[in-house]
Amino acid sequence: MPRPMWSGSISFGLVNVPVKLVTATSARDVRFHQLHEDDGARIQQKRVCSVDGTEVPFEKIVRGYEVRPGEHVVVTPEELAALDPDASHTIDLEEFVDLDEIDPIYFEKAYYLLPDRNAEKPYALLVEAITRAKKVGLGRFVMRTKQYLAALRARDNALVLSTMLFDDEVVPVTDLEGVPERAGEAGLAEKEIALAEQLVASLSGPFEPEKYTDTYREQVLALIEAKAGGETVAALPTTPAKAPVIDLMAALEASLKEAKKTA
């Protein structure tokens, strides 16, 4: 089981639930090391002072916020911790909302919240309450000197916490260029929209996450395994870029025909 990254409590009303936070995801990225091309040795990165060029030990490194070019204000971990000591150990649930009211663009990373010592009963109570209400709890908490907005929901009798972006961290669509306000402004015909709706319907089905695998990662690992075994690997031909759609109606009709054949 992953080690707890944070411990504290969930507070809703006068009910307090001690919990531990562990990661709910495990990235499967293929990670490469930087090597010296001549001898294959690992490259080391050092923390060096930009003024005198000397290496700086970790205990001599402090945090600074740049207020003007080249001018920083140094802030200590103790000063940051003193700003909101209560919130650093508490997730205060402020309100409950429907999950489908939250645009997925706000979600960041998912964690599991597990009951801490002697907290199984209030933990199970919160799980059961939000499961029956079909609601998501929203609250704020501090982890590693950063305040997070969090969404709390139940999944398979466990609590899942998803950190979220604050509203001012999401770029509004109105700030973008080239997005048509209405279908009519893009010159779409009703028949084209109807065909697109049929295509969406023909490709619709239940979400089955096991169907989707990282084929690129699998190919990279196969390449590494082959090269580690002494094989000479020929470069694969690049996939040509798809030509832009000239006749949207013809493309929709062909796509719909192919989707029905596959189904």
Q: What is the pLDDT of residues 139-150, one digit of tens each?
A: 999 887 788 999
- Is the domain defined by 6-26+82-169 classed in CATH 2.40.290.10? yes
Rounded to the nearest angstrom, the gap between the alpha carbon of residue 145 and the centroid of all alpha carbons in its chain is 19
Helix (H), strand (E) at residue 155? strand 146-155
Q: What's the confidence (pLDDT) of residue 243?
A: 63
Per-residue pLDDT tens over the stretch 78-122:
888 777 766 668 998 999 999 999 999 999 999 999 999 889 999
The secondary structure of 197-252 as a DSSP string is HHHHHHT-----GGG---HHHHHHHHHHHHHHTTPPPPPPPPPPPPPPPS-HHHHH
115 touches 179 (CB < 8 A): no
Amino acid code (one letter) for 32: F
87 touches 77 (CB < 8 A): no
* CA dist., res. 106 & res. 66, Å (int): 28
**How far is CA 169 from each of CA 66, 106, 144, 145, 172, rounded to the nearest angstrom?**
20, 9, 19, 18, 9
45 touches 56 (CB < 8 A): no
Closest Cα partner for 239 from 261, 212, 219?
Answer: 219
Name the pTM for this structure. Answer: 0.79
| Main-chain phi, psi angles of 3, to 5 degrees | -75, 145
Domain boundaries in the chain? 6-26+82-169, 180-204+244-263
Closest Cα partner for 197 from 242, 252, 235, 241?
Answer: 252
Closest Cα partner for 110 from 54, 75, 151?
Answer: 151
DSSP conformation class of 55: B
Which residues sit opposite 86 in a β-bridge? none
Contacts of 40 (CB under 8 A, 6+ apart): none
Helix (H), strand (E) at residue 237? none
218 touches 226 (CB < 8 A): no
29 touches 154 (CB < 8 A): no
Q: Output the furthest CA–CA distance in the chain (Å, rounded).
A: 69
Q: Mean pLDDT per 10-residue run, the chain (263 residues)?
A: 88 89 91 94 94 94 94 90 73 94 96 93 94 95 87 96 96 88 74 89 90 88 88 74 71 83 72
